[in-house]
Amino acid sequence: MTPKEIIKQLLDPYDSSQTECDGMTRICHTVLTNHGIDHQPMYGVVTLQNQVIEPHFWIDLPSGERIDYRVKMWLKGENIPHGVFNPQDFPDVIYTGQPVELDVLSPKIFEILTLKFDLQKFQQSQSH
Query: 59-96: per-residue pLDDT in tens?
Result: 999 999 999 999 999 999 989 999 999 999 999 999 99
In the chain, what percentage of residues exceed pLDDT 70? 91
Residue-averaged pLDDT of the chain: 92
Report helix, strand or coil for 71. Answer: helix
What residues contact 7, with CB distance under 8 A and at least 6 apart?
32, 37, 61, 67, 84
What residues contact 47, with CB distance under 8 A and at least 6 apart?
53, 93, 94, 96
